[in-house]
Structure 1
Amino acid sequence: MSTNIPEVPVDIPRDGDLRVGPLDPFLTRRKEKQPSISAAFKNLKICKEKIGRATSRWFFFNSISANAAKGPYYESMIETIGEVGKGVEGPTSYEIYNKYLDMEVEDMKAYVSTFKRIWDEYGCTLMCDGWTGITRRSMINFLIYCKAGTVFWKSVDASGKVKNTNYLFQLIDNMVEEIREKRIVQVVTDNATTFKLAGQKLMDKREHLYWVPYSAHCIDLMLEDICEDPMVENVVNNARFVTTFIYNHNNILDIMRTHTHGRELLRPTPTRFASQYIALDSINGQRGNLIRMVAYEE
């Protein structure tokens, strides 16, 4: 018995034939050579070095501290530049101080607004801190603390103002109104007499508020009083004499740095707070090295 089955011609591409079958892309070998792992790491190392040279040159030319690279936005800046790629110009100084600064301010306002819900629910603490800058301008900073963290609220330039009780009371009272009285549980300032009296007036006006002095400032005042003891004062003066003598003689200073392995001594300064005790702790920590330095034959 015979069957008439038509023969289907099979067209097989030969070498040099330009025709391509539907399965050829899956069966033929790719002509591209995959880079080796060592080559890929070498290329990555070269790219990192180019980025390092360019960014470091920018740091050096503009006298920017290298510690700025530890900031939270340094790596994100590098990543964003890499994602965007070539052909995009950087922002101008005018754009940075105008367009982008305004955008950052709006973002920060939106971030602070997220804390206000916590202030409404749990309350917050208004903190007031005064300081004098290198230009001798007197500034008073206001910060707000809550369970979610601390945010900076406002800075007031008090230069040329008489910082008496009435001025400080009016300033703090205005901040309470601005933040809303129902949100604030307590107001914290330093323990100066004017702040203390201003806090008392604030509690008289707003009965649910409490004025509390800084614990750190109270401790600093205690340490300052201890320094007035003749025995403690004598120890601090001796430590100041030793460090002044060492740092006024280069040869002795070099010997000290050799024995302390390059570590410096903190010198007591005639200021309040805990600087004297920190300096004494620094000297005591190098006690053994200082003894070896004195016994050094040279």
Structure 2
Amino acid sequence: MKQNLFGDILRKTPGGGNYMVNCTLCDFEFNGSYTRVRAHLLKIKGEGVRVCPKVNPTKLSELKRLDNEATLKIENSKKKKVSLPPVSEERKQTSSGGVHQKLKGPLEASFNIQARDALDCEISRMFYFSGLTFHLARSPYYRSAFSYAANTSNLSGYVPPSYNKLRGPLLDKERSHVENLLQPIKNSRKPKGVTIVSDGWSDPQRRPLINFMAINESGPMFLKAIDGSGETKDKDFIVKHMRDVIMEVGPKNVVQIITDNAAFLSVAPTRFASTIIMLKRFRSLKRGLQEMVISNEWSDYKEDNVDNARTVKETLLNDNWWMKVDYILAFTAPIYDVIRKTYTDMATLHLVYETWDSMIEDVRKIIYQHERKAQVEH
């Protein structure tokens, strides 16, 4: 139970701001809001509650004084509407016969100069009061919104959308519309494939953000942005989020990944490069490996694991297997060279752009020559 000087608020009752109230002067209990409490104590009739019989003229005068002070305090606490700046000197000269006298009269009225000036002041006040960035004025949607409102004749009495309407139904409507616009790009992922692009940057609050986008010839599509604040942006962190993005797009739809993140680059090239390095080493040791499996010492090793020894020997002496090794090393050499050049902490995305087309062309030639040679041999 809340208590004040002239009444006790017993409990909340259904409807609006109603409470069960007990008058401490006359011990009268009634249901109502501030209006009824005020009418009861100030002896205001016609408000649906009886007046307090314990309020004498002296007490009534004191209560009215308190009521006036409270009303004045409430009014003073309200945000006061600050008047707009007066019409500029240029506008005054326009309407008082100055250098712009030629605009006075019907011509001035047709241009609505004073109304335009007032609207400019209203818009600028919105920026200043709300702390909006001036860059908003460069938005095409900012200009189109006011132009549409000003030039549409049947919008008299229009009121801008409220806080709840902006964050609720209008936001849902815009999101649904954008998703419909993006659906053709989503549908093109399977037949055309997609490139996942990851880029790190900092927002105006200096938060480290990582963007993920999906790009193909139908156009780019933003997927998501993650806030890396407080996170160790190592390979595990990047790989986890990259894996989530790939699963969202569909692993079979992803053709390639482009990123400027060194931690992620330290994972992919290492696995690819280690395989190539191993094959290169095998190729350089071909003669020694073949001599090893036909030596007497190899016969001693056979006794430890006959099946494995036989498989290794057959593989190393198989000319077709070595031809496959040569083919793999040949068509991966251009790719390996690009990765080796870009595997650095410095910005290297421009190098990828410069070498990408030539790399693809070199790989295509090697594959074409290999397939043509295979057809001739068969």
Asked which structure has the greater RCO (Cα within 8 Å, sep 6+), the reply is 1
TM-score by length of 2: 0.40
TM-score by length of 1: 0.49
Greater radius of gyration (CA): 2
Instruction: Please identify which structure carries the higher helix content.
Output: 2
